[in-house]
Every structure is written in structure tokens, then in C-alpha cells.
Amino acid sequence: MIFEMLDTKIQQQRPKTWQSLGTAQRSLLTECGAIHFKRHIYWDERGRRLTPLDLLLDNSPYVRNSKKVEAMGACLAAESSYR
């Protein structure tokens, strides 16, 4: 719910030159569990497709795990043996 509130605030303050393409569902696995939310997608004046909420959260467009979950997986892999 917090992510959707942030997305609403971003939508209200977006530049007028950005064209809205609608919303898209997003799922993100965090250390507390899976989070499902919607975020707005825009075309900017240069013709790039932007999702400001993903930029704010520092997520790549197709990433499914948070940075903390990726770090936890890397830590487990580093500590375990190959056998």
C-alpha cells in the first residue's frame, strides 16, 4: 500500500511532458515476503519508457528480488561448499 501511495504522489508531481501509458503490476520478493503493487508507466519527451517508482526503489525493470534478498543468496552461496 505504501508503494502505491508513493506512485500516486509521483503521478501528481510528474512533468507535464510525460505521457501516461497506464499501470502495470509488479511483484518483488523481499526479506519479509512477496509484495505485489501497481506502478505507472510513462513516455518522456525523449521517447523513453519510464517507471519512476522503480527508479525511486532502485530496481531494474525486470528484477524480481530486492537487493537484500540477492545479498542473502550470495552470502549463503559463499559460505556453502561446492559438494
Tell me if the pTM is above 0.95.
Answer: no
Number of residues assigned to the chain: 83
* Residue tagged 501497481 (cell numbers): 38
Q: In what order do the strands lie in the sheet with 19-30?
A: 19-30, 33-43, 49-50
pLDDT value for 65: 92
pLDDT value for 60: 83
Quick: pLDDT tens for 14-66: 888 999 999 999 899 998 999 998 899 999 999 999 999 888 888 887 889 98
Q: Give SS3 for 30.
A: strand
DSSP alpha helix (H) spans, 1-83: 2-13, 52-57, 67-79
**Alpha-carbon distance 74 to 66, whole Å?**
13
